[in-house]
Amino acid sequence: MSVLIFALVGALAQLIDGTLGMAFGITSSSLLVVFGATPLAASAAVHFAELGTTFASGASHWRSKNVDWRIVLRLGLPGAIGAALGATVLSRFSLSDAKVWMAWLLLALGCVLLARFGFGVRLVPALAGQPTSKLLVPLGALAGFIDSSGGGGWGPITTPTLLSTTQHSPRTVIGTVSASEFLVASAASAGFLAGSATSGLDWKVISGLLLGGVLMAPFAAMLAGKLPHAPFGALIGGVVLITNTRTIMSAGDFATRTIVSVLVVESLLSLALTYKASVREHKMGVERSFFETRE
């Protein structure tokens, strides 16, 4: 029964991750910690499961033509190095303070995304042409380090950053991030093996997460390719805003009622901006179709 339960968890996490470009590690790690796993064991288990889920997700996005291979290696290889280092560090140090600091950074990125897709205002100018190694190498290394040391973070860091600084569509960014994540999961798993972090792992849990994630990957990739551009970007911004607000407030001395109230307000705001983006994009599509017809 436990395999089935975690298969459902893996399927849900992969559905979110494959369509929004984030949240498999965060969702799965959080659940494992709730069930009593240490942060080290939870992160190791998730990354072993991701060996299969990220491969399936990357292949599915490739078949759906959502991957820019010019970015994958320049992002994924530095990410793999950072992940191996993060797995080693996690075995020795507590990174709770760094996690809160990173949450503040991601919170700012979430606001940038909501401004761009929800209000139609670009606060960060897009890079002309393809993103260069000057952006991709440090971004990949940082995201890989945070991902393995915190049990998740590759998608929440790379997806909002690339959406904010490039002209790629959300589905291309998500597909590219998903394809490059296989390198990160492989390096993190090797780091955990080297650090003997696998003693106490529940392989039934890993098998369940792996099974559910692999089965859901093709459907998530197809969904990511069909979702509208602006509403999808606004939805990603809302998810980033809500998840990192929860991280920051949970680390502080806030009452549960206060945390829930803030998250509810942010959820309603995110939904409203997603709807606004949908209406704006639909209107622009109608106007474009009208002028093309007249021509």
Q: What is the pLDDT of residues 119-138, one digit of tens each?
A: 877 665 555 567 778 889 99
Report the alpha-carbon distance of residue 46 to residue 198 in Å, rounded.
Answer: 11
Mean pLDDT (whole number) for 224-239: 73
3-state secondary structure the chain: CHHHHHHHHHHHHHHHHHHHCCCHHHHHHHHHHHCCCCHHHHHHHHHHHHHHHHHHHHHHHHHCCCCCHHHHHHHHHHHHHHHHHHHHHHCCCCCHHHHHHHHHHHHHHHHHHHHHHHCCCCCCCCCCCCCCHHHHHHHHHHHHHHHHHHCCCHHHHHHHHHHHHCCCCHHHHHHHHHHHHHHHHHHHHHHHHHCCCCCCCCHHHHHHHHHHHHHHHHHHHHHHHHCCHHHHHHHHHHHHHHHHHHHHHHHCCCCHHHHHHHHHHHHHHHHHHHHHHHHHHHHHHHHHHHHHHHC
Number of alpha carbons in the 13 Å side-chain half-sphere of residue 3 = 5
The yes-or-no verdict on residue 86 having pLDDT over 50 is: yes
Query: Is the predicted pLDDT of residue 14 greater than 80, yes or no?
Result: no
Tens of pLDDT along 20-47? 666 677 667 766 665 666 666 666 777 7
Task: Choose the weakest-confidence range: 4-8, 32-36, 52-56.
Answer: 32-36
Q: Is residue 98 within 8 Å of residue 37, measured between CB atoms?
A: no
- % of the chain beyond a pLDDT of 70: 75
pLDDT higher at 103 or 136: 136
- What is the distance between the alpha carbons of residues 112 and 241, in angstroms, rounded to a whole number? 10
Tell me: pLDDT of 222 over 80: no
Amino acid sitting at position 167:
Q
Backbone phi and psi for residue 221, each to the nearest 5 degrees, phi listed first: -65, -40
Cα 62 to Cα 221: distance, rounded to the nearest angstrom: 9
Phi, psi of 216 (to 5 degrees): -85, -20
pLDDT value at residue 82: 92
Measured distance CA(238)–CA(114) in Å, rounded: 7
pLDDT at 174: 82
More confident residue, 168 or 260: 260
The yes-or-no verdict on residue 94 having pLDDT over 70 is no
Residues 6+ apart with CB under 8 A from 250: 259
pTM equals 0.66
| CB distance 156 to 142 below 8 Å | no
Section 206-233 average pLDDT: 76
Span 56-60, average pLDDT: 82
pLDDT-derived band at 78, boundaries 50, 70, 90: very high
Mean pLDDT over the full length of the chain: 76
